[in-house]
Structure 1
Amino acid sequence: MRKLVYYVAVTLDGFIAAEDGTYDGFLFEGDHMAGINAHYPETVPTQARELVGLQEAANQHFDTVLMGRNTYQVPGGLASPYAHLRQFVVTTRDLDVPSDVEVISSDVTGRVRALKEEDGLDIWLCGGGKLAAALLPEIDTLLLKFHPVAFGRGIPLFDGKADITKFQRADARLFESGVSFMTYERI
C-alpha cells in the first residue's frame, strides 16, 4: 500500500507560507538544497529541474502529487508544475487546468484512500494547510523542512480542526544552512 506523505517546508513558528500564500522567506540557497533535491528530485518543479541538474533524475519516492487550490495557484505558478508526476488539485471551485492535472472536487478522503490502494510510489501531499488538516487521518509520514525563520503569521502547517494524531521521529538531518529535515511516521 502506498503512503500519503506530507512533504513541506515550514517555519519555526509552524507556517508553510505567508498570509498571501507566498513563501519568499524560506531559504533557497545553502547546503540543504542540493542534499534534499538529490534525495527527492521529483519534488522540484518540472521547469526548474534542468536548472538544478535534475532533468534526467528518476522519481525516487513519489509518482503522484496532491495539492490544494491555493498551493496550485501560488502567485507566478505554473499550469502543470509537476508534469513528471501524476497531478491532482483539490478544490470545490471551477478551475481551468491542463489535461495532465486532475481536479478532485468531492469525497477527497475516499479518493486519497483509492490512490493509496493503487500500485506505485508514494503520494506527495505538498500543501496546503487546510487540505493537510482535512487529510490528517490519512497522512502516514511527515517530511518537514524546518527553516530557521519565523513568519509571525501565515498559513499553518495544519489549518483547521483535526484530532490529535501522534507521530514519532524516524530520521533527522541537520544542514549548515540552519535547515533541519525531519521525518516523522504515524504511530
Structure 2
Amino acid sequence: MSQLVLMMSVSLDGYFEGPDGDLGWQLVDDELHEHFNRRLAAMSGFLDGRVTYQLMADYWPTADQDPAATPPMIEFSRIWRDMPKTVFSRTLHHAGWNTTIARAVEPQAIAALKGRSASDLAVGGAVLAAELRRLDLIDEYSLYVHPVVLGRGRPLFPPSDTRTDLVLAETHTFESGVTMLRYLRH
C-alpha cells in the first residue's frame, strides 16, 4: 500500500509562508529542485488543497515555455502536468491538468486511493495537511528547513489536540543550507 507523504518547506521557526503569503525566502536552487523532482516523479499522485493547487496550476502547466526556466523547472513542469492530482475543495468547480476534485477528506476514500496507488502520494497544502494530520493519515513528514527565521507568518502546524509520534528516518543537508528532516509515523 502506498503512503501519504507531506513534503513542505518551512522556516527555522516553523512557518511555511511568511507575512502576506511571502514565499520568496525559500532557497530552491537547482540541487534542491532536482531532489524534489526525483522524489515527486516517483509518486502515483498529488493530493493538494485548493490554494496550493491553484498556485501550481497558475504557473507549472506552461513553466517549460518560460525562457528563464532552468532545466529542473522544465522537468518539474512536465512532472506536474502528467501527474494525477486530487484537489480537495468545497468551492472549486473546475480543475484541469489531470485533476479530480474531492469535496471532503474522507478517511475511507483516502485508504482506497492509497490501496490502488502503485507508489506514494504527495500531500501539498498546509490546510489539507492539518486535516490529514488530525485524522492521523499522514505516514511520512519530509520537512525542508530553510536557514531563515521569519518571525511571523503562517505556521505549518496550527495548534491541535492531536499528538503525532514520529521516528527520524533520514536527514540531508543541501549546499544551500536547507536541511531535510524525514520522519515516519511511529
Q: Give the TM-score taking structure 2 as reference length.
A: 0.79
CA distance in 2, matches of 1:10, 1:162: 21
Matched, 1:120 2:118: yes
Unpaired runs of 5+ residues, structure 2, are 62-76
Equivalent residues of 2:144, 2:178 under 8 A apart: yes
What does residue 23 of structure 1 align with? 23
Q: Deviations over 1:108-163 (max 9, x none)?
A: 33322211111311000022x22111101000001111100122222221235350
Coordinate RMSD, CA, aligned: 2.4
Q: Give the TM-score taking structure 1 as reference length.
A: 0.78
The residue identity in structure 1 corresponding to 2:108 is G
CA distance in 2, matches of 1:17, 1:120: 32
Q: Deviations over 1:28-55 (max 9, x none)?
A: 23xxx42x444442667xxxxxxxxxxx
Moved more, 100-109 or 76-85: 76-85
Q: How many residues align?
A: 167
Equivalent residues of 1:3, 1:140 under 8 A apart: yes
How far 1:84 moved relative to its partner?
Answer: 2.1
Equivalent residues of 1:64, 1:85 under 8 A apart: yes
The residue identity in structure 1 corresponding to 2:104 is S
Aligned mate of 1:41, from 37, 40, 61: 37
What does residue 131 of structure 1 align with? 128
Query: Runs ≥4 in structure 1, deviation > 3 angstroms?
Result: 19-22, 36-40, 78-81
The structure that is helix-richer by fraction is: 2
Equivalent residues of 1:134, 1:160 under 8 A apart: no
